[in-house]
Structure 1
Amino acid sequence: MVTPVPDKDPDEWVTGEEPMTGPQESYLHTLAREAGVEVPGGLTKAQASELIDELQVRTGRGVAGGSG
């Protein structure tokens, strides 16, 4: 049995101030297009993660029972 690991707050990430990763940027642009918003430039990993979470809620992706 695998014990779930609690999510760590992006503000506590050691690498949170580094630029967002390529996969984050790609997924963020996909979500932003679906939500009809623009992605701000120069996001950090932590900022990108928080925006991804927000846009997943808005688009229904990544949510149990969502359309994504």
Structure 2
Amino acid sequence: MDEPLHNPKLDEHPDSNTEKDPDNWVSGGDPMTGAQASYLTTLCEEAKVEAPSADLSKAEASKMIDELKQKLGH
């Protein structure tokens, strides 16, 4: 019987880079993506808060998404 191939992406390592801090993203300073803008709009409506300005960076948008998801219990 053959053993399944090892998938290093499934290893659980404390130093894993699967969830980098947005402040450490190479492209974190780039403008937020359309998907981020859309999701933020939806979350802001659900949380009954004002949507952010369109000039957020990817990192800023990601942080705001995480905060709103936590606030809303997602």
Fold agreement, TM-score > 0.5: yes
1:32 pairs with one of 34, 38, 44: 44
Which of 1 and 2 has greater Rg? 2
Q: CA RMSD in A?
A: 1.4
Q: Structure 1 stretches of 5 or more lacking a match?
A: 62-68
Moved over 2 A (4+): 3-6
Report the TM-score when normalising by structure 2. 0.75
Report the TM-score when normalising by structure 1. 0.81
User: What is the number of residues matched between the two proteins?
Assistant: 61
**Shift in Å at residue 35 of structure 1?**
0.5
Q: Structure 2 stretches of 5 or more lacking a match?
A: 1-6
Identity value in percent:
52
